[in-house]
Protein backbone atom coordinates (compact mmCIF):
# COMPACT_ATOMS: atom_id res chain seq x y z
CA UNK A 1 0.00 0.00 0.00
CA UNK A 2 1.28 3.44 -0.88
CA UNK A 3 0.14 6.69 0.71
CA UNK A 4 0.23 9.93 -1.15
CA UNK A 5 -0.32 13.28 0.49
CA UNK A 6 -2.86 15.30 -1.50
CA UNK A 7 -3.14 18.35 0.73
CA UNK A 8 -6.23 19.78 2.36
CA UNK A 9 -9.41 21.41 1.26
CA UNK A 10 -12.15 20.50 -1.18
CA UNK A 11 -9.83 18.86 -3.73
CA UNK A 12 -8.31 16.61 -1.07
CA UNK A 13 -11.77 15.68 0.23
CA UNK A 14 -12.91 14.82 -3.30
CA UNK A 15 -9.84 12.63 -3.84
CA UNK A 16 -10.36 10.93 -0.47
CA UNK A 17 -14.01 10.32 -1.30
CA UNK A 18 -13.10 8.82 -4.68
CA UNK A 19 -10.48 6.64 -2.98
CA UNK A 20 -13.01 5.40 -0.43
CA UNK A 21 -15.50 4.59 -3.19
CA UNK A 22 -12.86 2.65 -5.14
CA UNK A 23 -11.95 0.69 -1.99
CA UNK A 24 -15.62 -0.18 -1.42
CA UNK A 25 -15.97 -1.40 -5.01
CA UNK A 26 -12.84 -3.57 -4.72
CA UNK A 27 -13.98 -4.95 -1.36
CA UNK A 28 -17.39 -5.84 -2.82
CA UNK A 29 -15.71 -7.50 -5.80
CA UNK A 30 -13.49 -9.62 -3.49
CA UNK A 31 -16.54 -10.58 -1.39
CA UNK A 32 -18.43 -11.70 -4.51
CA UNK A 33 -15.41 -13.70 -5.70
CA UNK A 34 -15.13 -15.44 -2.30
CA UNK A 35 -18.84 -16.31 -2.41
CA UNK A 36 -18.51 -17.68 -5.96
CA UNK A 37 -15.49 -19.77 -4.97
CA UNK A 38 -17.40 -21.16 -1.99
CA UNK A 39 -20.38 -21.98 -4.21
CA UNK A 40 -18.19 -23.77 -6.76
CA UNK A 41 -16.37 -25.68 -4.02
CA UNK A 42 -19.71 -26.83 -2.62
CA UNK A 43 -20.72 -28.01 -6.11
CA UNK A 44 -17.43 -29.82 -6.71
CA UNK A 45 -17.32 -31.73 -3.40
CA UNK A 46 -19.86 -34.45 -4.34
CA UNK A 47 -18.19 -34.94 -7.72
CA UNK A 48 -14.76 -35.34 -6.12
CA UNK A 49 -16.12 -37.82 -3.57
CA UNK A 50 -17.81 -39.83 -6.33
CA UNK A 51 -14.58 -39.84 -8.34
CA UNK A 52 -12.64 -41.08 -5.33
CA UNK A 53 -15.17 -43.85 -4.68
CA UNK A 54 -15.11 -44.89 -8.34
CA UNK A 55 -11.32 -45.06 -8.25
CA UNK A 56 -11.47 -47.34 -5.20
CA UNK A 57 -13.97 -49.60 -6.96
CA UNK A 58 -11.79 -49.80 -10.08
CA UNK A 59 -8.71 -50.63 -8.01
CA UNK A 60 -10.62 -53.34 -6.12
CA UNK A 61 -11.95 -54.84 -9.36
CA UNK A 62 -8.48 -54.88 -10.95
CA UNK A 63 -6.87 -56.52 -7.92
CA UNK A 64 -9.69 -59.07 -7.83
CA UNK A 65 -9.13 -59.79 -11.54
CA UNK A 66 -5.46 -60.56 -10.88
CA UNK A 67 -3.80 -57.27 -11.76
CA UNK A 68 -1.07 -55.52 -9.78
CA UNK A 69 0.51 -52.05 -9.82
CA UNK A 70 4.01 -51.69 -11.22
CA UNK A 71 5.44 -48.15 -11.46
CA UNK A 72 1.94 -46.72 -11.67
CA UNK A 73 0.81 -49.15 -14.39
CA UNK A 74 -1.67 -51.97 -13.96
CA UNK A 75 -0.19 -55.30 -15.07
CA UNK A 76 -1.58 -58.81 -15.09
CA UNK A 77 0.11 -61.07 -12.57
CA UNK A 78 2.15 -63.81 -14.18
CA UNK A 79 0.84 -66.43 -11.78
CA UNK A 80 -2.79 -65.48 -12.33
In this predicted model, what pLDDT tens digit does every residue of 63-73 receive, in sequence order?
999 999 999 89
Domain count, the chain: 1
Residue 1 lies in a domain: no
Residue 40 lies in a domain: yes
Average pLDDT of the segment spanning 17-40: 95
Residue of 79 and 20 predicted with greater confidence: 20
Residue 62 lies in a domain: yes
Q: Give DSSP secondary structure letters for 32-78.
A: HHHHHHHHHHHHHHHHHHHHHHHHHHHHHHHHHTTEEEETTEEEE-T
Residue 63 lies in a domain: yes
Confidence of residue 79 (pLDDT cuts 50, 70, 90): confident
Residue 66 lies in a domain: yes
Whether the CB-CB separation of 74 and 67 falls below 8 Å is answered with: yes
Residue 60 lies in a domain: yes
pTM of the model: 0.55
Residue 74, φ and ψ in degrees, nearest 5: -90, 125
Residue 57 lies in a domain: yes
- Domain range holding 24? 10-76
Amino acid sequence: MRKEYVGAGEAAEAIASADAAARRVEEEKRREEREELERLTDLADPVLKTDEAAGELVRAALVDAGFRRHNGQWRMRRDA
